[in-house]
Amino acid sequence: MIKIGCVEQLIGEKIYLSKLNKNELEDYIEWFCISEQSENCNNGILTLKEKKEWTKITLKEYALIFKIIRIENDELIGHCSFTNIDYINKIATVGIQIKSEKDRNNGYGTEALKLMLNYGFKNINLQMVKLSVNCNNKRAISCYQKVGFKELNKKEDNDMYIEMNIFANG
């Protein structure tokens, strides 16, 4: 991790993560809410307006968002975040979105998650990171398992989603 001014960057081999600035939040919300990834999050239940409002509230309250940028050409290819950060119990939820199909299956998501988990465990002092994933999203499940997430169970209120977590001590 290097610090440039007050902006932290987490550097990997193929990508780096750069903290989203507050003035970039509206653009992020717009991008996220119209992306196919947002459909994976709520199964199409919310309207675009409701998604934008929910995202804005969630991100302003308890989130740390990073842009995923390809090193070779400095291109923004996605975002990853910690949300619902509980500093007392040392737990957070992680999420990741790779914008374009052409950027998937290149290891960018795996590398971004490794950088995020390292940052969360070492810099935020998290003890557990969790996530929820659509059970039909085999590519995401494989990526999460590759970095050490373990499947807990299907969410009781919706059999479409699987809960997974990872602990700081493995």
Domain ranges of the chain: 2-126
* Residue 139, H or E segment: helix 138-146
Write down the CATH superfamily of domain 2-126.
Gcn5-related N-acetyltransferase (GNAT) (3.40.630.30)
3-state helix, strand, coil in the chain (%, to 5): 35, 35, 30
- Can you tell me which residue has the tokens 């990997």? 12
Q: Over the stretch 124-137, which tens digit does the pLDDT of each residue have?
A: 999 999 998 888 88
What is the model's pLDDT at position 21? 73
Show the low-confidence residues of the chain (pLDDT under 50).
Answer: 1-7, 38-43
What is the model's pLDDT at position 40? 47
